[in-house]
């Protein structure tokens, strides 16, 4: 069977990473969580007390690797597993502004392009179908209402034991939407040939089957 590139973009807390990993596992493709890479850069800035301008002078010191494990994809920042630390509200509150920095985007887009392999890749993020892989054979754009996405994120954070309020999470979701969609470089938007999926009324299983069928159809079309 032919191997293709699948780009899954969309707003925060739409389940992009979950469905992308499910799909990659099911069809035997490499999975890359590009958002985790931006979160790792953000964590580095926080850990080292760096302003955005100061961070730019340290980009060559940041090494990010994604490693498959039984528990899922591990995110390594300079060799240290930071998979849990990058999901905190502190990181969430700053990641969009750091991801908007052109120098950060250039560094990570270069790395992301090198991750594509001949055996197929599923990559999720904000600009995969528009910038990283504009030639991807299948482009999806995931969205849902802000309230639904905030509730999902709120439940996730509570489940991890984080002390947050729904209002705080909703404010974070809407502010990230604003920053992601209005930044000067690689703003969040659907590719012109992306298939838009509103999963406000879908559970994870429903979403997976919709995406899987789209992938099967596109792969079959390459035979």
Domain CATH for 82 = 3.40.50.300
Closest CA to 138 of 83, 71, 38, 211: 211
Q: How far is CA 150 from CA 48, 172, 176, 199, in A?
A: 29, 8, 11, 13
Mean pLDDT for each 10-residue chunk of the chain (223 residues)? 89 92 91 92 98 96 86 88 94 94 94 81 93 96 97 94 94 93 92 97 95 94 62
Q: Which of 104, 118, 85 is nearest to 34 (CA)?
A: 104
Give 151's contacts (C-beta < 8 A, 6+ positions apart). Answer: 166
What pTM was estimated for this model as a whole? Answer: 0.83
Closest CA to 12 of 38, 31, 30: 38
CA angle 174, 176, 138 (to 5 degrees): 105
Q: Give the gyration radius of the chain's Cα atoms.
A: 17
Question: What is each CA distance from 138 to 134, 193, 195, 214, 215, in whole angstroms?
Answer: 10, 9, 8, 8, 7
Q: What pLDDT was estimated at residue 117?
A: 67
pLDDT at 222: 58
Mind listing the pLDDT tens digit for each residue in 111-162?
898 887 667 899 999 999 999 999 999 999 999 999 999 999 999 999 989 8
Domain range spanning residue 163?
5-220
Query: What are 8's two structure tokens?
Result: 């899954």
What is the number of structural domains in the chain?
A: 1
pLDDT of residue 223: 44
List the end-to-end C-alpha distance of the chain, in Å, as a whole number.
Answer: 7
Torsion of CA 132, 73, 119, 64, to 10 degrees: 50
- 170 contact partners, CB below 8 Å, separation of at least 6: 146, 147, 150, 154
Q: Do residues 24 and 117 make contact, with C-beta atoms less than 8 angstroms apart?
A: no
Residue 1 has what pLDDT? 65
Task: State whether the Cα torsion 144-155-202-148 is positive or negative.
Answer: negative
Using the structure block, give the residue that is written with the tokens 């729904």: 166
Q: Which of 178, 186, 173 is nearest to 144 (CA)?
A: 173
């Amino acid at each position: 069977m032919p191997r293709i590139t699948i780009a899954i973009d969309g707003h925060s807390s739409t389940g992009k990473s979950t469905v992308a990993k499910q799909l990659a596992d099911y069809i035997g493709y490499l999975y890359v969580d590009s958002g985790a890479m931006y979160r790792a850069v953000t964590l580095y800035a926080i850990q080292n007390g760096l302003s955005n301008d100061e961070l730019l002078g340290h980009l060559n010191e940041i090494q990010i690797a994604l490693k498959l494990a039984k528990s899922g994809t591990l995110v390594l920042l300079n060799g240290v597993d930071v998979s849990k630390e990058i999901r905190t509200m502190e990181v969430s509150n700053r990641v969009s502004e750091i991801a908007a920095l052109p120098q950060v985007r250039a560094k990570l887009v270069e790395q992301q392009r090198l991750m594509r392999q001949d055996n197929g890749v599923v990559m999720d993020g904000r600009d995969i179908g528009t910038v990283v892989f504009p030639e991807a054979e299948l482009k999806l754009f995931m969205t849902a209402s802000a309230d639904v996405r905030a509730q999902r994120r709120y439940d996730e954070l509570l489940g991890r034991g984080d002390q947050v309020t729904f209002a705080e999470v909703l404010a974070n979701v809407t502010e990230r939407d604003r920053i992601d969609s209005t930044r000067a470089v690689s703003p969040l938007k659907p590719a012109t040939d992306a298939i838009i999926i509103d999963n406000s009324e879908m559970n994870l299983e429903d979403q997976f089957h919709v995406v899987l069928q789209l992938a099967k159809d596109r792969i079959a079309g390459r035979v």
